[in-house]
Structure 1
Amino acid sequence: MSQPSAATTGTVRTPRRRVPLWDNARFACIVLVVLGHAVQRLTYDSDIALGLYLLVYAFHMPAFAIISGYFSSSDSPSRRRMARVLTDIVAPYVIFETLWTLTKWLVEGQANPNLTQPSWTLWFLLALAIFRLVLPYLALLRWPLVWTVAISVAAGYWTNIDSTLSLSRTLGLLPFFTLGWWLADRDVVARLDLLNRRRWGARIAALGVFAVTGFVAWWFVDTWRAVDLRQWLFYDASYADLGGPWWSGAVRLALMAIAVILSVAFFALVPRGSYWWTHFGQYTMYVYLLHSFVLYPLRETGVLRSAEPTWLWLPAVIVGSVIVALVLATKPVRTVFRPLIEPRPAWLFADPTLAAREGRRSDPTGSKRPR
C-alpha cells in the first residue's frame, strides 16, 4: 500500500538542510580542478610545479567522484530522476561540446565535431551520467566495491577501451563513485559523527599525509617524469599504451589506495562550518564548464609557460586559480550562462512539464543530505 503524502496527512515536509562540509569540499575540489589545469604549463619548466601537479591529480577527481557517489541514489530511477540526467548532464555536455568545436574551428582553423570524443574537461559529465545509470545495478551486487575495483584494474589491460564516450576514465574512477555511495548507504558518516566532531589529531595527521606525499612527489620528480606518472593518474589509457609491465594492475591498485588516503586527509581538513565562500560550493558546475574557456587563451598563447621566474609564476597561478573559481561562481556569471549550464528544454520531452519540474540545479553532484 502506498504511503500517505504530506498533503493528505496535513503534515509539512521538512526540507533537507544543506550541510556546509559538502559545499566547502566541493568548492575546494573545483579550485583544485582549476589549479591543476592552470599549473600544467608550468610543469615543463619547474620541478616544484610538477610535484604540485602530481599531488593534486593523485586525488582531486577521485574525491569529486566520492562526493558525487555520496549524493547518488541506487533506487530504481523515477521519471524525474531520469529527466534530471538529461537536463543536468547530457544537455550541458552537448551544448559545451558544440561550443568547443566552434572555438577550435575559429581559433585553430580546424575542428572535429564528434560527440563521442569529449573535449578537455567535458569527460566528467559523461562519466557522471554513466555512473548514475549503472549504480542501481551495482547496488544489487554483494560486494560492489570489490567488483568495481576489479573492473577498474581489468579495464587497463584492455586496449580497446579508450577515451570514446570517456569510457576509460569512467571505469577507472568507478570505484571512487561507488565508495561514496557505499559510505552513504551504510550511513558511515553519521555513525562515526564525522560532520560534527573536530578531531585536531586527525587534522594534524592529514597535514602530515599531504606533507609527506608532496615531498615524495617533489623529491623523486625525475623518476615520476621518466615513468610519465601524470598519465597514470588520468586513468585514461591502457597499461600497454603507457608502456607498463604485465603487473601494471598492481600500480593502479596502489594509485587508487593513495587516492583514497589523500581523499580522507582532504575531507579531514575541509572546514565544517559556514563561511562567506561556502555557498559557492553549490555552483561548481559553472566553474567546471567555464574555467577551461578562461584558461584556453592563456595556455595557447604561452602566458602560463615561462622558464623563469618560476618562483613568481607558481604562487601567482595558485592565487589566480582561486580567483577564477570565485568569479565564475558569482551571481552575474550564473545569470548570464544559466541557459547554457542549466538548460530546461521542455521540447525534448514527451511530457514537457518534466523539464519545468527540475527547477534550478546548478550542481548535479548534489549537496543536501540530512546526516
Structure 2
Amino acid sequence: MTDATTSPRTTTRTPFWDNARFAAIVLVVFGHAIQRLTYDSDAAQALYLLVYAFHMPLFALVSGYFSSGAEPTRRRMARVVTDLIAPYLIFETLWTITQFLVTGRTNLDPAQPSWTLWFLLALALFRLVLPYLALVRGPVLWALAISVIAGYLPSIDSTFSVSRLLGLLPFFTLGWWLREHDVVARLGLLERRPVWLRAVAGAVLAGAGILAYAFVDTWNEVRLGTWFFFVDAYVDLDAPQWWAGAVRLSIIALALVLMSAFLLLIPRRETRWSVLGRYTMYVYLLHTFVLYPFRQSGVLRGLEPMWLWIPVVIVASVLIAVALSSRPVRRLTRPLVEPRMPWLFRDRELGAGRASAASGTATRQAQPPRGAP
C-alpha cells in the first residue's frame, strides 16, 4: 500500500454522467414514495417493480465507473471514512433518534443499516474490495460467480450490508471494467444516438412496464420485488432448488438491459439539471426524512383515483430531488452529508474537506461528488 498521494489533474466534466445520476436519484425518491401506493394499485406495483429492477444496480455500476482498482492512496483511504463511513454513522444516529421520537422504540445497531443507509456501507466495502478484484483475470466473471454463490449461503445476511455488497458486486465491477478498458469512449457511447435507437430504448422500458402490470399477481406470488433487493438467500425466497442461482443471473441480465435502455434516453448535453447530478448524496440521505411522515401517517393509503395520484407522486419526486440538491439545502446540511474531520487524521489535510484539498468539485471528473451514489 502506497503512502503517495495523487497530483490533481484538471479535466472537463461529462454532462451525461451528471444527468444520469440525477435521473437515477429521482427514481430512488420515486421508488420510496410510491411504495405505499402499491398496496392499493396494480399500476403502482408495476412501476415499483420496474424501478427496482434496475435503479440500484445502475447506481452500483456508475459508482464503479468512477472508482479506482489501483493500490489505495492515503487520500482515497481517508475518503472512504469521510465520504461514506462518517455520514453513515451520523445518519444512522439521526434515524435512531427519529424512530425513538416517533415510535418510542429504538435499536442503535450500526451493523444493521436503517432504510437506505445500506448503500453507504456497501459502497465503502466495494471500494475496499475492488483493488483485490482488479488483480485477478476476469474480475467481472469472478464478481458474477460471487454474487450467484452468495445467494446459496443463508449465513450471509444484511449485517453490514454484506448480502447486498456481494449481490450487487457484478454491477460495480462492470462499471470499473468499462472505464478501465475505455469501452465508453472506444464505442462512442457518449455520442449522439439515432432516433431509432432511442425509440427502441423507450419501447424496452415501456414493454417491461407492461409485462410488470400484466403479470403483477404472478410477480407478487414469486416475490420478485424481494429478489430485486439482493438481500435474502435463495432459501429465504422460497427457492431452495439448485437452479435458484439461474434466477439471480436472469435478474442481473434484466437489470443490465433496463439500465442500458435508461442510459440511452439520458441527454448527452448540458442541461439545467446537470449540476444537480453532482449532489445526489444529499438527495439520497435526506429524502427519507421528507417521505417518512407521509409513509408513517398513512396518508398515502387508499388514494383515488390512482391515475391522478401516480403522476402527482412522480412530479413530487422530481421536486424533492431538485429541492434537496439545491444550494441552500446543501449549505445547511453539508456538515452532516460532507463532514470535515481534520481532527481525526494525523495528516489534517486528509479530513479537511474537499474545499481545501488538492482537487475541486468542478475540476475532477475522475471522482464523483463526495461519496455520491
TM range (shorter): over 0.9
Structure 1 position 280 matched with structure 2 position 258:
no
Indicate the larger mover: 310-319 or 120-129: 310-319
Instruction: Note the C-alpha offset of 1:6.
Output: 12
Could you tell me which residue of structure 2 aligns to residue 259 of structure 1? 255
Residues in 1 aligned to 2:353 and 2:103: alpha-carbon distance in whole angstroms: 40
CA distance in 2, matches of 1:158, 1:251: 15
Contact 2:9 2:364 in 1 (8 A): no
State how far apart, in whole Å, the 2-side matches of 1:38 and 1:284 are. 17
Partner Cα separation in structure 2 for residue 340 and residue 132 of structure 1: 22
Alignment pair present for 1:160 and 2:150: no
With the length of structure 1 as denominator, give the TM-score of the two structures: 0.93
Summarize deviations over 1:179-233 as a string: whole Å, max 9, x none.
Answer: 1001001100000111123232221111111111111100000101111111000
Q: Give the structure 2 partner of residue 149 of structure 1.
A: 144
CA distance in 2, matches of 1:336, 1:191: 42
Q: C-alpha distance in 2, partners of 1:44/1:191?
A: 46
- State the SS of the aligned residue for 2:11: coil
**Partner of residue 341, structure 1:** 337
Change (3 A) 1:6 1:330: closer
Runs of 4+ that moved beyond 4 A? none
| Aligned counterpart, 1:320 | 316
- Distance, in Å, in 2 between the alignment partners of 1:224 and 1:198 is 33
**Offset from partner CA, 1:6-36 (integer Å, 9 cap, x none):** 99xxxxx761111000000000000000000
Q: 1:117 aligns with which of 84, 105, 112?
A: 112
Q: 1:223 aligns with which of 189, 214, 218?
A: 218
Matched, 1:302 2:261: no
Residues 47-82 of structure 1, C-alpha deviations (whole Å, 9 max, x = no match): 000000000000001111110000001110110111
Tell me how far apart the structure 2 counterparts of residues 244 and 297 of structure 1 sit (CA, whole Å).
35
Query: 1:85, 1:24 → 2: CA distance?
Result: 24
In the TM superposition, 1:39-58 aligns within 5 A as 39-58=34-53
Q: CA deviation at 1:316?
A: 0.8
Paired residue for 1:359, among 344, 351, 355? 355
- Deviation at 1:367? 7.3
> Aligned match of 1:105 in 94, 100, 103?
100
1:174 CA drift (Å): 0.4
Say if 1:345 and 1:223 are closer, same or farther in 2 by CA, change over 3 A: same
Change (3 A) 1:360 1:27: farther
Question: Residue 144 of structure 1: CA displacement?
Answer: 0.6
Identical pairs, percent: 60
Q: Structure 1 CA distance, aligned partners of 2:328 and 2:349?
A: 27
Q: Which residue type is aligned with residue 365 of structure 2?
A: K
Q: Is the 8 A contact 1:85 1:129 kept in 2?
A: yes
User: Hey, what's the Cα distance between the residues in 1 that align with 2:356 and 2:312?
Assistant: 34
What residue is the counterpart of 2:169 in the other structure?
A: 174
Structure 2 unpaired stretches of 5+: 368-373
SS of corresponding position for 1:241: helix
Q: Does 1:292 align with 2:298?
A: no
Structure 1 329/174 Cα, relative in aligned 2: closer, same or farther at 3 Å?
Answer: same
Native 8 Å contact 2:341 2:353 kept in 1:
no
Corresponding position of 2:188: 193
Match of 2:66? 71
Instruction: Name the counterpart of 2:371.
Output: none
Aligned position for 2:231: 236
Q: 1:330 maps to which residue?
A: 326
Partner Cα distance (1:78, 1:206) in 2 = 40
Aligned-residue offset at 1:369: 4.3
Q: Partners in 1 of 2:199 and 2:10 — Cα distance?
A: 35
1:110-160 Cα distance to aligned partner (Å, 9 max, x none): 010000000000000000000000100000110111111111111111101
For 2:141, the aligned partner's letter is V
Q: RMSD value over aligned CA atoms? A: 2.0
Whether the 8 Å contact between 1:161 and 1:168 is mirrored in structure 2 is yes
Post-superposition Cα deviations, 1:223-271, rounded to whole Å, max 9, x if no partner, equal 0111111100000111111111411111100000000011111111100
Kept in 2, the 8 Å contact 1:46–1:307? The answer is no
Counterpart code for 2:249: L
The number of residues matched between the two structures is: 359
Are 2:134 and 1:129 equivalent residues in the alignment?
Answer: no
Is the Cα–Cα contact under 8 Å of residues 80 and 358 in structure 1 kept in the other structure? no
Match of 1:32 in 2: 27
Output the CA distance in 2 between the equivalents of 1:317 and 1:272.
Answer: 27
Contact preservation (8 Å) 1:41, 1:304: yes
